[in-house]
Structure 1
Amino acid sequence: MKKIVATPADHGVAYQDVYIAQGDIRLHGWWLPAASEARGTVYFLHGNAENISTHMHSVLWLPEKGYDVFLLDYRGYGQSGGEPELAGVIDDVRKGYQWLRDRQVTAPLIVLGQSLGGGVAGFAMATQADKPDAMVLDAAVASYPRIAGEVARRNWVTWPFAPLAPLLMPKGFDLIDVVGQLAGVPQLYLHSPDDSVVPIGHSHSLYAKAASPKQLRETAGPHIATFAFAAQRQALLDFIASL
């Protein structure tokens, strides 16, 4: 569990702490209200490393553009209790989504997941009846066995064990197997060819199996640095406006 190192207030953005009971643990998140009349709501699920305090810059600019934002830390991340494990993390994503639905937030409700967050968010939404208004998947992991093998092959020490690495990953939670169940939900896939963490082939595979309506946009820069660029921010705003 990594501690919160900064808050939105440190960057001049208003926020509220949110605590959600999830069984015998408590999840923590941040609610960032739109700076003006809300045009919609973005549910942000971050990548594997650190917590919402180190990933918030991906969405910290959205309240100024008129969007409410909810950032959630999965179990074992940040101030959320418990230990991280894949099935539980997916349940946490669904719990945060239900919290938003119960709050009757401003539509459209867009789920934005990056890296691991894209994989778990996509799986959670695809395998439940209550779908969001749109999905944005940035450098999403298509398959955990696949990424495990790819990571193992990057280092000469672990390269001989690359065929074994996928066997150690949890089974039955890969987005690639269920992405077609998002049919009818507008989907925007973002990925940089320069990504050295999750290869762009993951998004190509997801896009190929996804049902319409869908868009694929190749970005630039390192892993999940997408919204550091004004052009990519505008592409997200244009996608939401098209809803």
Structure 2
Amino acid sequence: MHCLNKLLISFLLLCISGCSTLFFYPEKQLVRTPEQVGLAYQDVDIKVSDEVSIHGWFLPVEDNVEVKGTVYFLHGNAQNISTHLRSVYWLPERGYQVFLIDYRGYGKSTGEPLIPDVFHDINAGFLWLIKQPSVQQKPIYLLGQSLGASMSGYLVGTQPEMRDRLSGVILDAGFTSYSEIARHIASDNWLTWLFQYPAAWSMPSDYDLIDVVQNISPTPLLIVHGTQDVVIPYQHGKKLLAKAKQPKAFLSYTGGHIATFNDVGNQNLLLEFMQKFTPTKP
């Protein structure tokens, strides 16, 4: 969830308006394509409504590599899929297809990002994905990072039809609630310290991951968090783990915010989690 520090000054307005747009920092310009880092890809455009369409990339596995499954990737609150590609570019050579989308307002996606409107984008992407022939009869895993973890985890926890189609859920650096993360950000700077509680009170309370994370069970859940994360404190991950039900696992690593898959060891641990929970009949 890069650029959350940009929210500091905005909290003065937030206390008045409670506007969820302050959680989103989209960039329209794509800085690279998968082809530029040696990956095959398909451009995907999905119509969500008459006013909104979302854009994504589907990354097939490399030639002569067996398809082991598919990862549906939901990125954090800043930039777009071209910058977050670094978290998942390594998966196709390891046998996992990847589908990553930009929420409305990001990259080539139209519209304005708002909560809960962005939930329709995540759902639309998922419905497109499960209809693809190459995805059929293979496990599907959801991987969300930062704001993407909190939003997508909330949807899995409230929509059994999504939960039951997934073979595993990975939530990397998710936060427990909008009010708690807002209070943390405000309290971390002397300019906004006095506004930490008004900021927390102004946040939406109907879409908090901590309230529904237990409902992800019985789908296997992996919670990931860096011990040096100063954007979303490590304790958020521990609280989510405590509330979640089995089967669950926790990947703790020494590192900062969503730096997880810069490390090959963490990549291998993710693969071990997915392989452990690969169903015989997806």
- Relative to the length of structure 1, the TM-score reads 0.98
Alignment partners' CA distance in 2, 1:114 and 1:206: 14
RMSD: 1.0
Alignment partner, residue 225 of structure 2? 191
**1:163 partner SS:** helix
Counterpart among 170, 174, 196 of residue 140 in structure 1? 174
- Relative to the length of structure 2, the TM-score reads 0.84
Question: What amino acid does structure 2 have at the position aligned with 1:141?
Answer: F
Q: How many residues in Structure 1 have an aligned counterpart in Structure 2?
A: 243
Give the structure with the higher percent helix. 2
Q: Given the alignment of the two structures, is residue 46 of structure 1 paired with residue 110 of structure 2, yes or no? A: no
Percent identity reads 47
Alignment partners' CA distance in 1, 2:54 and 2:80: 12
Alignment partner, residue 102 of structure 1? 131
- Is the Cα contact below 8 Å between 2:157 and 2:215 reproduced in 1? yes
Q: Given the alignment of the two structures, is residue 15 of structure 1 paired with residue 41 of structure 2, yes or no? A: yes
Alignment partners' CA distance in 2, 1:5 and 1:57: 12
- Is the Cα contact below 8 Å between 1:184 and 1:213 reproduced in 2? yes
Counterpart among 67, 78, 81 of residue 110 in structure 2? 81
Alpha-carbon displacement from aligned partner over 1:140-186 (angstroms, at most 9, x marks no partner) = 12111100000001110000111111122122000100111111010
Q: Given the alignment of the two structures, is residue 28 of structure 1 paired with residue 55 of structure 2, yes or no? A: yes
Q: Given the alignment of the two structures, is residue 118 of structure 1 paired with residue 144 of structure 2, yes or no? A: no
Alpha-carbon displacement from aligned partner over 1:180-231 (angstroms, at most 9, x marks no partner) = 1111010001101100100011111111111110001111211001000011
- Is the Cα contact below 8 Å between 2:158 and 2:215 reproduced in 1? yes
Deviation at 1:76, TM superposition (A): 1.1
- Is the Cα contact below 8 Å between 1:33 and 1:68 reproduced in 2? yes
- Is the Cα contact below 8 Å between 2:146 and 2:258 reproduced in 1? yes
Alignment partner, residue 163 of structure 1? 197
Q: Given the alignment of the two structures, is residue 66 of structure 1 paired with residue 95 of structure 2, yes or no? A: yes
Ranges of 4+ aligned residues in structure 1 off by more than 6 Å: none
**1:29 partner SS:** strand
Alignment partners' CA distance in 2, 1:60 and 1:38: 15
**1:164 partner SS:** helix
Q: Given the alignment of the two structures, is residue 174 of structure 1 paired with residue 205 of structure 2, yes or no? A: no
Q: Given the alignment of the two structures, is residue 127 of structure 1 paired with residue 153 of structure 2, yes or no? A: no
Alignment partner, residue 20 of structure 2? none
Larger Rg belongs to: 2
Question: What amino acid does structure 2 have at the position aligned with 1:241?
Answer: Q
Alignment partners' CA distance in 2, 1:102 and 1:143: 32
Alpha-carbon displacement from aligned partner over 1:18-46 (angstroms, at most 9, x marks no partner) = 00010121100000001122100000000
Deviation at 1:90, TM superposition (A): 1.5
